[in-house]
């Protein structure tokens, strides 16, 4: 099953800059959201860590 990696590879080889930019922005937003959620949940999961 083709995924986003294959789609990005095909966009790079074809020079589809709009698709490259879209995949890049989507990846950055997804990773940033995941990191934010983990940073907010980490003190709840590990009581030794406290926000000041």
27 with 5: CB under 8 angstroms?
no
**pTM recorded for the entire structure:** 0.74
The one-digit pLDDT tens for each residue of the chain (52 residues) are: 689 999 999 999 999 999 999 999 999 999 999 999 999 998 888 888 876 6
Alpha-carbon radius of gyration of the chain: 17
Q: Which of 52, 51, 23 lies closest to 39, judged by CA? A: 51
19 with 11: CB under 8 angstroms?
yes
């Amino acid at each position: 099953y083709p995924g986003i990696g294959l789609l990005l590879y095909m966009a790079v080889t074809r020079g589809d800059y709009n698709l490259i930019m879209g995949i890049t922005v989507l990846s950055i937003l997804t990773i940033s959201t995941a990191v934010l959620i983990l940073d907010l949940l980490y003190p709840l999961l590990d009581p030794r860590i406290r926000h000041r």
